[in-house]
Amino acid sequence: MSPCPHCAFSNPPSASFCANCGRGLTRPPAAKKTSPQAERRFVTILFADLSGFTALSETRDPEAVRDIINACFDRLAPIVEAHQGVIDQFVGDAIMALFGAPVAHEDDPAQACRAALAMLDAIAAVNVERDLDLGLHIGINSGTVVSGGVGSRGRQQYSVLGDAVNLAARLQDAAERGEIFVGAATAQLTRAQFEFVERGVMSFKGKSEPQLVYQLVAAHAAARAPRPLHILTPLFGRARELALLQDLLRANATETALRVVSILGDPGLGKSRLVQEWRSAAAADAANEFIVAGCAPDGNLRAFALLADIARALEARQHDGAADASLTLLRGILEPVTVGGEMDAAALQAQYVNALRAALTHLTAQTPIVLVCEDLHWADAPSCQVLRRVLNTLSNARLLFCATQRLDRETAGWALMEALQELSGAAALQLYLAPLSEQDAQAMVSQLAPGELPVKVRELVLAQAEGNPLFVEELLEMLIERGDLKREGAQWVLTRELDALQTPNTLQGILMARVDQLPPDARQLLQIASVLGREFPLELLERVAAALREPA
């Protein structure tokens, strides 16, 4: 039997997901934790400090106090891991945790915030269970740090060093019991997903400038997408894709058949934006109804996470009594699965299949439906199995299944779409999004920074973005936000010499998460190549790589 690292439930050795809490049973790879190789990376650091032990020490003996501290840590450590963080160290009554090192995920700053909120709840629960009055205060900050082996030779441990770490520790010091203080960098990256209260500027030891401090109060409901969709400019290009999608809609409204469309492309190329534009265009005739669900970056670790989101989306629409019965069952997915000994995973899956099939059959009988699943590359395998079984039997419904996906071929979502494309044959469509043309990217820059823009800025942004609309937006925003680019009348002026552009914080997670997915050899090669430049002779890369491999 393999115990669940999150809830300790005993699962069969072959299980990938816990039958009790639904979380993944395989821990994220920890191999790099021991790697002493130093590298710079963008990390979110969390310090959580327990308080209230002084009073406790007066009435209990030291062993009892130690047991209580350890019981608290036993509650807090799994919360860090469940949010894809790692414990860096325990320092006295405090925990230091890292999100984004040694392995980056797209939403590390948000995961750190979620973990912090869950930690406060966990300590409140310990207080109730043991009749105690313990407190917790937390500091979170994000920034570029140096990671790798830290310590004297032979005794090195993986850790991170840098200004961002110090500020996280100071924020924790400044927070009172029950408070989570967050630095400006983290708050800026997560403000769409969480509620913050500004606590004003504070001076901290080691920082020459006073820092703006935010208090994390709560998570916004149902905002798990790592990046909300911004519509900052009109849509450029994509006329062909929109026309094809519109054709599919017309067919869906008139003939029964299972239609399947994949919108494919790298992060930021505009998959979600295309869906949004399609929905707006479709709203005019209202012949089809859109139901939109999606996956979060850690979705593949939570069994039935996608199905739960589909249930949420179905529930959110106006529905009548007949659909209610199946929705009640689906709604159960929204709560942590509690099957215990009553029902095995196969029976549970069969129930979900029946419920989803009933709900979709009922809906499509009333009106043609477009079921959109965003970010299918993060979908969990059990949900994909259910979807495959359900859609297999709905070939006579007015149903169009649409997925947005990155080109990650090793995922459950990819396998699902391959199977569905085959199933629906002629009614299947794959739309690969290409980067914007030079002309469209130019037009986008002009829209985002109207007026006269220094040639250097235009060149750097266009070269670095390579037709990716998200990169165009984020690079320009970074320059304006940092004050490097200022508007003076109808002109934009550079306030300092600019040779290259840094990577905006908003893109760090996306880029690092992809680099960290590579096997170690490929990753090292990429690092060498990045030093050589954007274009170089293959021979040069081979020679540098060979020289670095030779022992000194």
Ligand X SMILES: Nc1ncnc2c1ncn2[C@@H]1O[C@H](COP(=O)(O)OP(=O)(O)OP(=O)(O)O)[C@@H](O)[C@H]1O
With CB under 6 A as the contact rule, the residue among 49, 88, 380, 473 that binds ligand X is: 473
Kindly state the smallest distance separating residue 192's Cβ from Mg ion, in Å: 14
Q: Are 112 and 83 in contact (CB under 8 A)?
A: yes
Helix-then-strand count for the chain, H and E: 18, 17
Q: What helix, strand, coil percent values describe the chain, rounded to 5?
A: 45, 20, 30
Kindly state the smallest distance separating residue 287's Cβ from ligand X, in Å: 24
Asked if 268 interacts with ligand X (CB under 6 A), we say yes
- What does 368 bind: Mg ion, ligand X, none (CB cut-off 5 to 8 Å by kind)? none
Contact region for ligand X (CB under 6 A) — 135-143, 150-158, 261-269, 513-521?
Answer: 261-269
Q: H-type helices in 60-107, by residue range?
A: 62-82
- How far apart are alpha carbons 97 and 99 in whole angstroms? 7
- What does 268 bind: ligand X, Mg ion, none (CB cut-off 5 to 8 Å by kind)? ligand X
Asked if 269 interacts with ligand X (CB under 6 A), we say yes
- How far apart are alpha carbons 51 and 177 in whole angstroms? 7
- How far apart are alpha carbons 160 and 144 in whole angstroms? 10
Asked if 272 interacts with Mg ion (CB under 5 A), we say yes
- How far apart are alpha carbons 302 and 82 in whole angstroms? 10
- What does 332 bind: ligand X, Mg ion, none (CB cut-off 5 to 8 Å by kind)? none
Kindly state the smallest distance separating residue 301's Cβ from Mg ion, in Å: 19
- How far apart are alpha carbons 107 and 510 in whole angstroms? 8
Kindly state the smallest distance separating residue 474's Cβ from ligand X, in Å: 9
Contact region for ligand X (CB under 6 A) — 212-220, 266-274, 286-294, 422-430?
Answer: 266-274
With CB under 6 A as the contact rule, the residue among 469, 506, 512, 513 that binds ligand X is: 469
E strands present in 126-280: 135-150, 157-161, 180-183, 194-202, 211-219, 257-264
Strand, helix or coil for residue 133 = coil
Using only C-alpha atoms, the chain has a radius of gyration, in whole angstroms, of 26
Kindly state the smallest distance separating residue 435's Cβ from Mg ion, in Å: 15
- What does 406 bind: Mg ion, ligand X, none (CB cut-off 5 to 8 Å by kind)? ligand X
Beta bridge partners of 97: 46, 87
With CB under 6 A as the contact rule, the residue among 265, 413, 435, 504 that binds ligand X is: 265
- What does 236 bind: Mg ion, ligand X, none (CB cut-off 5 to 8 Å by kind)? ligand X
Q: Restricting to residues 518-547, name those near Mg ion by CB under 5 A.
A: none
- How far apart are alpha carbons 198 and 185 in whole angstroms? 13
Beta bridge partners of 258: 399
- How far apart are alpha carbons 46 and 165 in whole angstroms? 9
Kindly state the smallest distance separating residue 404's Cβ from Mg ion, in Å: 6
Count of CA atoms in the C-beta half-sphere (13 A) of 506: 21
- How far apart are alpha carbons 43 and 60 in whole angstroms? 39
Count of CA atoms in the C-beta half-sphere (13 A) of 448: 28
Nearer to Mg ion, 108 or 374 (CB): 374
Contact region for Mg ion (CB under 5 A) — 135-143, 271-279, 424-432, 453-461?
Answer: 271-279
- What does 231 bind: ligand X, Mg ion, none (CB cut-off 5 to 8 Å by kind)? ligand X
Q: Restricting to residues 400-419, name those near ligand X by CB under 6 A.
A: 404, 406
Contact region for ligand X (CB under 6 A) — 19-27, 181-189, 262-270, 280-288?
Answer: 262-270
Q: Restricting to residues 348-407, name those near ligand X by CB under 6 A.
A: 375, 404, 406
- How far apart are alpha carbons 474 and 511 in whole angstroms? 13
Asked if 272 interacts with ligand X (CB under 6 A), we say yes
Residue with token string 């900050």: 141
Asked if 267 interacts with ligand X (CB under 6 A), we say yes
Per-residue tokens: 185: 């960098």
- What does 229 bind: ligand X, Mg ion, none (CB cut-off 5 to 8 Å by kind)? ligand X
Nearer to Mg ion, 107 or 179 (CB): 107
Residue 5 neighbours by CB under 8 Å, 6+ apart? 23, 25, 27, 78, 81
Kindly state the smallest distance separating residue 405's Cβ from Mg ion, in Å: 10
Q: Restricting to residues 224-253, name those near ligand X by CB under 6 A.
A: 229-233, 235-238
Angstrom distances, CA of residue 291 to CA of 288, 315, 317, 363: 10, 10, 8, 11
With CB under 6 A as the contact rule, the residue among 32, 170, 224, 271 that binds ligand X is: 271
The residues binding Mg ion (CB under 5 A) are: 271-272
Contacts with ligand X, residue ranges (CB under 6 A)? 229-233, 235-238, 265, 267-273, 375, 404, 406, 444, 469-470, 473
